[in-house]
Amino acid sequence: MVSPMLFIIAPLAAAFLMIFINRRGAALALSLLTPAGLAILGVSWLPATLVRAQPIVVASIKAPLGIPLSLDALGAGMAILVAVSSVLIVLYSSSYIHRGHHEVRYYAVVMILLTSAFGLVLTRDIFNLFVFFEILCISSYILVSWEQSGAALEASFKYMVLGSIGSTFLLVSIALAYKAAGSLAMADIAVAFDSAPRGYVIMAAVTFLFGVGVEAAIFPVNSWLPDAHSSAPSSISAILSGFVIELALVVTFRVLNTVFAAVDVLPLLQIIAIAGVLVGEFSAFGQKDLKRMLAYSSISQIGIMLFALSLGSTAGAQAGLSHLLMHAGAKSALFLIAGYFILRTGSRLIDDYTGLGYRMPVSAALFGLAALSLVGAPPLFGFFTKFQILAAAAATGGGLAWFGIASILSGTVLEAVYLFRVIRVLFAQPAERSRVEMDLPALVSVALFTALVVFGALLLPSLSSMIGPIADGLATLH
């Protein structure tokens, strides 16, 4: 049987292989085929993982000596999302990234990023998690600074400083965990923390939360995000906003919820989530730079997802994961389209896009659909996921939950206003100028992302049979 280890090995091998061949065509083929193959593998494994998690044995050494890895339903689901997204984004990159500009290396770094993304969902070892976290961070730093402009370098540096502080805290947490358990396997640590002093576990939990949380862009350690996501090439913004922060969020939450279960961190997470929603929406409100606006919107959306997860109910977890799927589609589409807006007008400012909707009608229409879904306008996917979250919060009840509902609702008002303002600018003053539609590969990629958010609601019935085991991955360590 093919081992799920392929998720880690294949992209890594592809990365080195393409550097070695150093041809654009080979790099593109490898970086399209690898995630595509993994996506197919992921789908074929999903049914089995829905029944029972698949432990992976590395190099015939079993835990506790070996590094425990495991593919559960949540991991398979996230892996499929990551793989499919990256196929589409690579497809987009094929026409978006400048030719010749170390293009092969770009794809290689993307593949390394994928390795770490898959590794994060597979690993059940806390130090291994640190390693993948670092690989994810470093490949993100490199990709953010890809264009080598002043803004890109600055963003990358800030990201790097915060990421390094994060890894410092993460190591503190790992040290505390190891001291308590004498093992790095999450399962052992969870057992050890059950009998450890409360203050000790709190210390470990908080350092872990803000250690890994820096990559998940939870409030308030998210200040790198608006810079990084807006200065990166748009394809990278789509990767970062589309699945990297979501993935990091899921991993953070899963470990907190299972390994550090001795401490009830959920109220803290709810507070953080609500603050993130409000800060994100308010900051996006007055933005003139389109990508920065979208980046702030990501902060608030992460807040919404975290809020859903931290409700602590099954319904909340399922709703949060559905919303994650929606956000991955919508935000990727928005960033990818924004990339072509910038490419075609040479400006990042929304005011410079006046009438662009008449020159790029399909792109602008897709942008509108994705934005509507993000706001949660029925009958698009976003409405159903947001409604599920709110309903789950209402079912939980209590002051904090209702405050969260009110915050999300008022945040939505702000979000609608700033996103509709963009749509309004796009379709202002009919301009009788030539068509400058997106290139075909990019258009296909964006259209598929948008199809997800438009028809995603149709997925809900079939999703509902799978979402149970998938969400269960957040509550129990398989």
Considering only residues 150 through 179, tell me which ones interact with another protein, judged by CB under 8 A.
150-151, 153-158, 160-169, 171-172, 174-175, 178-179
**Is there binding between residue 309 and another protein (CB under 8 A)?**
no
Of residues 13, 29, 460, 463, which one binds another protein by CB under 8 A?
A: 460
Residues 401 to 430 in contact with another protein, rule: CB under 8 A: 405-406, 409-410, 412-414, 416-417, 420-421, 424, 427-430
Binder among 83, 278, 342, 366 for another protein (CB under 8 A): 278
Residue of the chain from 235, 283, 301, 450 that contacts another protein (CB under 8 A):
283
User: Is residue 80 a contact point for another protein (CB under 8 A)?
Assistant: no
Burial grade of 64 (CB within 10 A; 0-12, 13-18, 19 or more): middle
Part of the chain binding another protein (CB under 8 A), chosen from 34-42, 54-62, 200-208, 444-452: 200-208
Nearer to another protein, 9 or 394 (CB): 394
Contacts of 396 (CB under 8 A, 6+ apart): 311, 312, 313, 316
Residue from 13, 21, 377, 444 binding another protein (CB under 8 A):
377
Binding segment for another protein (CB under 8 A), chosen from 39-47, 107-115, 216-224, 468-476, is: 216-224
User: Which one, 33 or 285, has the nearer CB to another protein?
Assistant: 285
Site for another protein in 316-375 (CB under 8 A): 372
- Scan residues 96-135 and list those touching another protein (CB under 8 A): 127, 131, 134
* Interatomic CA distance for residues 463 and 456, integer angstroms: 10
Q: From the list 95, 230, 322, 363, which residue makes contact with another protein (rule: CB under 8 A)?
A: 230
Read off φ and ψ for residue 185, nearest 5 degrees. Answer: -70, 135
> What's the min distance (Å) between Cβ of 196 and another protein?
14
Q: Spell out the residues 6+ positions from residue 97 whose beta carbon is closer than 8 angstroms to its own.
A: 103, 106, 233, 235
Q: How far is the CB of 384 from another protein (least distance, A)?
A: 7
Cα separation, 56 vs 18, whole angstroms:
27
Judged by CB under 8 A, which of 26, 285, 441, 444 binds another protein? 285
> Which of positions 132-151 make contact with another protein (CB under 8 A)?
134, 138, 141-142, 145, 148-151
Q: How far is the CB of 143 from another protein (least distance, A)?
A: 12
Cβ-based nearer residue to another protein, 32 or 201? 201
226 cis-preceded (ω within 30 degrees of 0): no
Closest to another protein by CB, 102 vs 179, is: 179
Could you tell me the smallest distance in angstroms from the CB atom of residue 148 to another protein? 7
Stretch that binds another protein, among 42-50, 75-83, 87-95, 274-282 (CB under 8 A): 274-282
Q: Which is nearer to another protein, 30 or 304 (CB)?
A: 304
Quick check: 47 binds another protein (CB under 8 A)?
Answer: no
Q: How far is the CB of 261 from another protein (least distance, A)?
A: 14
Min. distance of Cβ 1 from another protein in angstroms? 30
Q: Which lies closer to another protein via its Cβ, residue 58 or residue 377?
A: 377
Per-residue binder mask for another protein (CB under 8 A), 244-273, x = binder: -------------------xxx-xx--xx-
What is the smallest separation between the CB atom of 388 and another protein, expressed in angstroms? 7
User: Whole-number minimum distance, CB 84 to another protein, in Å?
Assistant: 25
Among 13, 37, 103, 282, binds another protein (CB under 8 A): 282
207 forms part of the interface with another protein (CB under 8 A): yes
Pick from 115, 158, 163: nearest CA to 138: 163
SS3 of the chain: the string is CCCCCHHHHHHHHHHHHHHHHCCHHHHHHHHHHHHHHHHHHHHHHHHHHHHCCEEECECCECCCCCCCEEECHHHHHHHHHHHHHHHHHHHHHHHHCCCCCCHHHHHHHHHHHHHHHHHHHHECEHHHHHHHHHHHHHHHHHHHCCCCCHHHHHHHHHHHHHHHHHHHHHHHHHHHHHHHHCCCEHHHHHHHHHHCCHHHHHHHHHHHHHHHHHHHCCCCCCCCHHHHHHHCCHHHHHHHHHHHHHHHHHHHHHHHHHCCCCCCCHHHHHHHHHHHHHHHHHHHHCCCEHHHHHHHHHHHHHHHHHHHHCCCCHHHHHHHHHHHHHHHHHHHHHHHHHHHHHHHHCCCEHHHHCCHHHHCHHHHHHHHHHHHHHHCCCCCHHHHHHHHHHHHHHHHCCHHHHHHHHHHHHHHHHHHHHHHHHHHHHCCCCCCCCCCCCCHHHHHHHHHHHHHHHHHHHHHHHHHHHHHHHHHHHHCCC
439 binds another protein (CB under 8 A): no
Q: Per rule CB under 8 A, is residue 384 in the interface with another protein?
A: yes
Asked if residue 72 binds another protein (CB under 8 A), the reply is no
Cβ closest to another protein, residue 286 vs residue 468 = 286
Among 279, 309, 328, 350, binds another protein (CB under 8 A): 279
- Sequence-distant (6+) residues with CB within 8 A of 164 are none
